[in-house]
Amino acid sequence: MKLVAAGSLLLIGLALFSCHRSTRTAGPEIVPATAASGPIVWRHFSTANDPVKTMTMDGSNLWMGTSKGLIRFNTANGEFQTYSPQSTEGGIVSKGIYVIRVDPKGNKWVGTYGGGLSKFDGTTWTRYTSSDGLGDNWIYDLLFDQSGTMWVATWSGVSVFDGTRFKTYTVKDGLADKWVYSMVLDRDGIFWFGTEAGVSRFDRKSWTTYTHKDGVGADVKPDAEAAQFPSGTTPPGASGGEGGGAYNYGSESAAHHHMSLEKQNMGPNPNFIISSLVDAKNQKWFGTWGAGLTRYDGKTWTTFTKEQGLGGNFVLRLTMDSEGRVWAGTDGGASWFDGQRWHTIGTADGLPDNYVFSVLFDDRGHRWFGTLKGLSVFRGTLPG
């Protein structure tokens, strides 16, 4: 289904890195602030405690997904435009945005919570749902392979779109679990899928699954749910996740996902993979829900937790900067690995909140962090 784009335009009278002054308008606001300690000077973008769950850069435009819709921020002139089910007239039907990617042709693809997948070419919206062959309407990750083919992580397997139709891989094909949250393609052309039952490797011919028994994730104590579960957030897809906290995506009912007994998965789980990354050395990294971050070099699985210096054990996002450093957005701040040890930026360094859901680096040296309280950015030397 195709629809003409519509959106509400919000102008901010403040260039992103101007002096400490602003022109106030209705809508999003940039608030300059200086860190309480350390060398970082921040700029903060408040989203009224609406977490910035995903970000992607397209030229000077930073696209952000929140639980209340899609935001385009022109970092060059401070202009904002918001997109919602109402403003797009059905181009997006769910206000919960979980993932945004730009394809090789410059189209923006938006994965939503219960509303399927939407493509925006700058003028027109095209929407795809399970009625079009998509595995499910709950979308958690998007990936474009070497040929530009799109792979879609859903709650009912991995769907592949050839531009005309979808093909979906499920547990029957060899996937560890139908709930898929993250995907990466390594330098050998092999896919790695993060599911709620471990990591699945797919070389386009055969499947191999790795779990905690193989070395994924840290051991979790029997009372870990009560002792470690972060306040104010629930796992994506967990029972009650719709009702509040960081995974509240509005009125869309996810009851058909939440009611299954085997998915009553509220506490830390080393097999619950919610983020993944391939680094410059072709090592695979997998972030878990409460059991730390695991690295696989092809032979050995190594897990990092708070005990090894990681900011938090709930690893919500993984990315790599231009110098090849691995970054992890956690429930205890944004952590980066220098090859020997972990360093973390958190509230003590001026970050508004320690729940870091998204991390992005642009080509001008800016470091962007999406947190439970909005968007923050700084440019300069890393502390420590």
pLDDT in tens, 5-61: 334 333 332 333 333 323 333 334 434 444 444 557 788 888 887 899 999 999 999
63-77, 171-185, 325-339: least confident range: 63-77
CB atoms under 10 Å from CB of 259, counted, come to: 10
At residue 263 the predicted structure's pLDDT band, cuts being 50, 70 and 90, is low
- The answer on pLDDT for 113 being more than 50 is yes
Residue 298 belongs to a domain: no
- The answer on pLDDT for 367 being more than 70 is yes
Q: Structurally, how many domains does the chain consist of?
A: 1
Average pLDDT, integer, range 283-296: 98
The fraction of the chain above a pLDDT of 90, given in percent, is 67
Residue 28 belongs to a domain: yes
Six token digits for residue 361: 């680096």
At residue 262 the predicted structure's pLDDT band, cuts being 50, 70 and 90, is low
Confidence at residue 6, expressed as pLDDT on a 0 to 100 scale: 37
What's the rounded Cα separation, in Å, for the pair 351 and 344? 11
Residue 181 belongs to a domain: no
Residue 338 belongs to a domain: no
145-149, 303-307, 356-360, 377-381: least confident range: 377-381
At residue 86 the predicted structure's pLDDT band, cuts being 50, 70 and 90, is confident
Confidence at residue 312, expressed as pLDDT on a 0 to 100 scale: 97
Task: Show contacts of 304-311: CB within 8 Å, 24+ apart.
Answer: 304/337, 304/342, 305/218, 306/332, 308/342, 309/335, 309/341, 309/342, 309/343, 309/344, 310/335, 310/342, 310/344, 311/335, 311/342, 311/344, 311/346, 311/354, 311/356
Confidence at residue 224, expressed as pLDDT on a 0 to 100 scale: 55
Which range marks the domain in which residue 361 is found? 1-139+346-384
What's the rounded Cα separation, in Å, for the pair 131 and 136? 9
Residue 364 belongs to a domain: yes
Q: Which residue has the higher pLDDT, 141 or 28?
A: 141
What's the rounded Cα separation, in Å, for the pair 104 and 345? 33
Confidence at residue 198, expressed as pLDDT on a 0 to 100 scale: 98
In the block, residue with structure tokens 């789980």: 269
The pTM (predicted TM-score) of the whole model is 0.86
For residue 205, CA distances in Å to 135, 169, 190, 310 come to: 20, 12, 10, 36
Residue 339 belongs to a domain: no
Strands 180-185 and 342-345, sheet pairing? unpaired
Six token digits for residue 303: 């897990």
Residue 314 belongs to a domain: no
- pLDDT of 192-242, one tens digit each? 999 999 999 999 999 999 999 999 999 997 665 444 545 445 566 543 333
In the block, residue with structure tokens 């890393």: 382
Residue 257 belongs to a domain: no
